[in-house]
Amino acid sequence: MRRRLAVATAGLLAIGLLAMPSPSQGMPRSPGDKATAVVGFVIGEPTLRTRGGGAQVAVPVLTGRQRTWAVTEVVPAAVAETIQNSVAPGALVDYRVSHRDVVVPADPSATFHTVLTKGRTPVFDMKEYGPELAPRDGRPGDLVAAGWIYDKRQGQITLGDGREVTHDISGRALPKPIKRYEETHQVDRDVEVYEVDTADLTRSRPSSFDQIPVTNDYDYATTERQAAFVVFDRDHRQADSAKVRTIYYFTPRDISDGLPVWDVPTQSSLLNDKGIDPVSGRPYADIQATGVSQAPYTRSTEPFEIVKDTLFYVGDNEVALYLINADMGTSRKSDDRLVLVDTGWPNSGYQYWKNVERMGFDPRQITDVLLSHAHLDHYGTTRELVTMIENAGGDVTLHASREDIEGIKHDGLGNAWNIPPALPATEKLLRERARYYEYDKFIDLGNVRIMPVPTPGHTVGTTSFVFDVDDPDGARRVTFGFMGGYGFNGMERVTATNGFRRLNFQLGLAWLQQRVHVEYVAPSHTNQYPLVEVYQALKAHNNDPANRRRPLDMLDALTTGEFVNFNQKRYAVATHALSDTQPNYQSIETYGPFKPGRENGARDVAVTLLDAGKVIRGYDKHMNVNPKIPLLADGIVIERDSYVHDPDGYYVQFYADVHDSYEGFLPGSGPVESYRPTPGAPEILRTQRFHSRAQAEAVLASVAAGATYRVDLTPASAIVVPADGPVFEAIS
């Protein structure tokens, strides 16, 4: 249900602010039959008025330097209801007027195009990128910007999100403060200005440029900040010469949280030596920033290049977005592709698109979007991006998993299921436009290859990726592993329906360890692997005057071999009994679900090893240890789930076919190994813990790929390590 700002249309009428119009009252006259585009801010509930055999919709708006009504032409009652339900108080809208009536297009829900909505949370939008006015008469819509007002002078207004960076992570002062998401706009001398009272929209009124308040300063402790929406007189093709023609500023002021913000994730170990916050009196390292859905400015960070000219980080400091510049190797630049992996939080688009620009690209040139899964923090700006590209005459292809959009109707072995999708039914754009992945096969994009890998669990259709990238400086290819759904959320405790997701989550992590071979980690969230910390540590290293003649790059700063350890962390969280000590957790080892036929374990089971096996070390919380860079000398510790730290534990893991009655799925719950179309539904099996690498390697050396052995299994399908005797008994 749409949440509307508190305002009653009856109140507007009762106090005489607006009078209900006649069919042609209150709108500017349009010359001839030509429809005129109008911008307005909705300050009350839209109402229906019966007119002959149909109805009109009347919307109270601020426009044309007055409070007035936008009244549609007469339409059938059902159409009028559709229009009424499509617009809400607090929205900046544009529409078309002919003969003083609002024109109703073929799609009545598009009569009033909602650009931005001012609710309780801050809204930000950069001038050139984001939700513009609707395209009209074959041209893109005019530009719109939003943010907090930080300066106002004759002919200019400055909007931003208050993000000011003055020092690098080592404490060295930057040459000048960086205001990454701030812009100064030229203002038309005939600008229309309105004060919008979000506490009582009936009090909104025309105003003047001189009356616009300004935010006091950039200090994070300044909690009252002056917000505004501004509309320009040109579209993005003439952005340099565009001037602000309309300003809506909001009272009362926005209340921000007054918490410090950093270019690294909050509570990062790189903040441990920053001392005490004088505002709250708490250590900076202990302060948790506001959730990004309420305050995206608290999670911003700068973009950076990972592989020269090819792979870039363009996300915030919480959710990771990657930009891939794919050179198809032909003589036609139009053949090249610009790929975005995930689209991030819905109110953070202003950061992502500006980050793309800072890496040297126009986000309107993005040709492909790869979505890892159907959670809002990963697909949230998709509609905004598609609209922005298509308003400019471009085209973008969306790629997603069938399972997250349609659900699971059958598994890879032909078993029928009816498991619902993760994507909400309201997300029609993705449902209608997405192309489905062909799993475990590389998409060849010239200097880049991308392989989608199914790893359900986090959602039913979570997809991971391998990025195989040509390094133009190293004359080699480098590989990155992206685990698409690393969070165990929703699976912490066993329910009647999540058992197959718990086991699939465990399987996906083990599959990536065992079957995917990559050098580097590309995390889906930066509070899971310290990619952003690595960059900030690299930046601090290169800013040191002693190192400026010998700068390092991200491939120097990142360490190889981390992908197995990265996946081991959440494998241990999901699996091991030590998770039972955590609030609201139930480990697979203790609580299952246990695979059918193994509820009490299994003895003397025949197992055929399908690969040579691999030694897996227990999770080491010191990630990306790199002595070349002082801030990375001891690695970065991410405290979340660090209770599974166990670098002295070792396991032997195999891709194996178990010859018992288990068929690869949980009856009544869903598919696990049968999710993949592999005969026999082979599993990833792991031994119980060894106390040393030598013990694990000795067991690994005692077996051979392709051979069949007898083993004992625990109820959780771990290979038993007996106190004496062999783990694997050969079958002659």
Lookup: tokens for 33: 């039959």
Using an 8 Å Cβ cutoff, are 285 and 267 in contact?
yes
Kindly report the backbone phi and psi dihedral angles of residue 549, in degrees, each rounded to the nearest multiple of 5, phi listed first.
-85, -15
Q: Which residues are paired to 148 by β-bridges?
A: 160, 227
For 9-117, CATH number out of 1.10.150, 1.10.3470, 2.40.50, 2.10.25 equals: 2.40.50
The model's pTM is 0.94
Whole-number pLDDT of residue 293: 85
Amino acid identity for residue 624 in this structure? N
Q: What is the CA radius of gyration of the chain?
A: 29
CA dist., res. 132 & res. 544, Å (int): 42
pLDDT the model gives residue 473 = 83
Coil, strand or helix at 12: helix
Phi, psi dihedrals of residue 717, rounded to the nearest 5°: 65, 25
Nearest CA-CA partner of 421 in 438, 435, 403: 403
Distance in angstroms (rounded) separating the CA atoms of residues 440 and 450: 10
State the pLDDT at residue 31: 43
Strands (E), 198-320: 205-207, 224-225, 227-232, 244-251, 254-255, 304-307, 311-313
Helix (H, G, I), strand (E, B) or coil at 437: coil
Residue (of 514, 550, 557) closest to 532 by Cα position: 557
**Beta strands 397-400 and 435-436, pairing class:** parallel
- With beta carbons less than 8 A apart as the criterion, state whether 206 and 65 touch: yes
The b/e string for 272-308 (b: 16+ C-beta within 10 A; e otherwise) is eebeebeeeeeebbebebbebeebbbbbbbbbbbbbb
Please say whether the beta carbons of 636 and 270 come within 8 A: yes
Q: What is the pLDDT of residue 18?
A: 54
Place of tokens 């893991």: 653
Task: State the Cα–Cα distance between residues 250 and 244, nearest whole angstrom.
Answer: 17
Helix (H) or strand (E) holding 272: none
Phi, psi of 708 (to 5 degrees): -115, 140
Pairing of strands 602-609, 650-659: antiparallel
Q: Mean pLDDT in each 10-residue stretch from start to end of the chain (732 residues)? A: 35 44 42 78 96 93 97 96 97 96 96 95 95 91 97 96 94 92 97 97 97 96 96 96 98 93 94 93 93 90 97 97 94 90 96 98 97 98 95 94 97 95 96 97 96 98 98 89 95 94 98 97 97 98 94 97 97 98 96 97 97 98 97 95 97 97 95 94 97 97 97 98 94 80
End-to-end CA distance of the chain: 66
Can you read off the two tokens belonging to residue 485? 């759904």
Report how far apart, in Å, the C-alpha atoms of 683 and of each of 594, 595, 671, 678, 705 are.
Answer: 14, 11, 13, 10, 14
Beta strands per DSSP E along 7-86: 36-42, 47-51, 54-63, 66-71
Q: Give the pair of three-digit tokens for residue 297.
A: 């400015």
110 within 8 A of 104, measured Cβ to Cβ = no
* Chain CA centroid to CA 328, Å: 27
Q: Whose CA is closest to 419, among 321, 506, 500?
A: 500
Specify the pLDDT at position 12: 44
Residue appearing with tokens 């598609």: 386
Helix 562-575 to helix 499-515 angle, to the nearest 10 degrees? 160
Residue 55 parent element (H or E): strand 54-63
Counting Cβ atoms within 10 Å, is residue 199 exposed (0-12), middle (13-18) or buried (19+)? Answer: exposed
Within 10 angstroms of residue 136's Cβ, the number of other Cβ atoms is 16
Please state the domain extents for the chain. 9-117, 144-255, 532-576+584-732
Name 636's Cβ contacts closer than 8 Å, sequence gap at least 6. Answer: 268, 269, 270, 530, 533, 534, 622, 623, 624
Which tokens go with 650?
């070792």
